[in-house]
Amino acid sequence: MAIPITYNIRNLAVRKTTTVMTALGIALTVAVLLAAFSLVEGLKTAFEGSGHPLNVLVTRKGSDSELSSNFQRSVFNDMKFKQGIAKDKKGDPLASLEMVTVITLASEEFPEGTNVNVRGVTPTGIEIRDDSKIVEGRWFTPGRREVTVGSSVAKRYPAAHLGGKLKFGRGEWDVVGVFDTPQMARKSEILTDLNQAAGDFERTEVLSSALIRATDEVARQALVNDLSYDSKLNVQAKTEKEYYAMQTSSGDLVKYLGTFVAFIMAVGSCFAAMNTMYAAVARRSKEIGTLRILGFSRVAIMTSFLAESLMLATLGGILGILLVVPLNWVSTGIGSNVTFSEVTFQLRVSPQIMLRGLVFALFMGAIGGLLPAFSAARKQILVALRQI
């Protein structure tokens, strides 16, 4: 015969101060863990959702990123007529030679400045990025010292607002437009004319990469293989999606640190739950004796106290989830260890992350409640009744 669950609910309500304090300890532990997970989930969503499925990014063989790639203009001229590259309305290949560099911009959060990507592109590069739409102003004019910034850059850096001026290279550049795109990683870039930027940074022949659009998925894979195994070109190719997905490693350190801190806090929370339940067992010794006389078995008593600990942990888990829910969709930035620039993204507290937090809380409740429940079940009837 099982002990009614209302018995445990009533006991938690009677010891409300201890219950609330223990639940808050568990809640803080769950909140730390979920905050780290929400950051990693947001970063993962930002990068995995970036990149066109038919785009192929080509860099110099052996380079880890576009920033460390020395891509020759002559190599681009040799590869842009490869089979499988899509063509625009004029019949020209959809292949864009590009240059990537990093500048420092001050934000309200970091007045000393953070790194931001500047990407020099050709008009074909804009055409390939067909999901990027102007929301303010216009696209930059080739041959002029003008830039068009991603919406995240415009929001985060005061100098990058429409009509502002950015200082890099050999002088100032006018911000003439703001573009938006569903792809979070691209929103964190500044686009400008390739030749103008290459001249400013004295990189007219040695640039960074090429972005090409394949005609279909079969041609995309054939292009990746063809370019990667062409010893004359000495380049490496991967899909644009693969390139962005590789950058999710930027959040690994935060994830590991968050998990480590949560683990340390979890040990403390387990002891807090254990102390609470041991105190409950000691205080309710006469109740345990009475329950045994009424016919409840040792297993029923052990199950009842363990269930009470799990209920306490569930309360803490729910409170922890409520603490991190306001973080959902909050925009923040993190430095990428691939591009050495800041990427803006939104924290994500998904249902899966909430479920992980609840399971983690139940785990703490089970660990913290097991020994006190076992102790309650082992109490001898006569010993328990002597305390009446």
Residue with tokens 């067992």: 281
- For 14, residues 6+ apart whose C-beta sits below 8 A from its C-beta are none
Per-residue pLDDT of the chain (388 residues), as tens digits, is 677 778 788 888 887 887 888 888 888 888 888 888 887 788 777 777 778 889 999 999 988 888 888 899 999 998 988 889 999 888 899 999 999 999 999 888 788 888 899 999 999 999 999 889 999 999 999 999 999 999 989 988 999 999 999 999 888 999 999 999 888 778 889 999 999 999 999 888 889 999 999 999 999 999 999 998 888 889 999 998 888 877 666 556 666 766 777 777 777 766 777 777 777 777 777 777 777 778 888 888 888 888 888 898 899 899 999 999 998 888 777 666 666 667 777 888 889 989 988 998 888 888 888 888 887 777 777 666 665 4
CA distance 350 to 229: 41
CA distance 210 to 80: 9
CA distance 198 to 293: 88
Q: How far apart are the first and last CA of the chain?
A: 24
Q: Where are the domains of the chain?
A: 5-48+248-379, 55-213
Report yes or no: 122 and 97 within 8 Å, Cβ to Cβ.
yes
Report yes or no: 250 and 42 within 8 Å, Cβ to Cβ.
no
Which pLDDT belongs to residue 100?
Answer: 92
pTM of the model: 0.71
Report yes or no: 213 and 94 within 8 Å, Cβ to Cβ.
yes
Q: Which of 318, 381, 308, 309 is nearest to 4 (CA)?
A: 308
Buried b (16+ CB within 10 A) or exposed e, 339-357: bebbbbbbbbbeeebbeeb
Could you tell me which residues are beta bridge partners of residue 72?
206
Which pLDDT belongs to residue 385?
Answer: 64
Which pLDDT belongs to residue 387?
Answer: 56
Whole-number CA gyration radius for the chain? 30
CA atoms within 13 Å, Cβ hemisphere of 110: 15
Which pLDDT belongs to residue 55?
Answer: 93
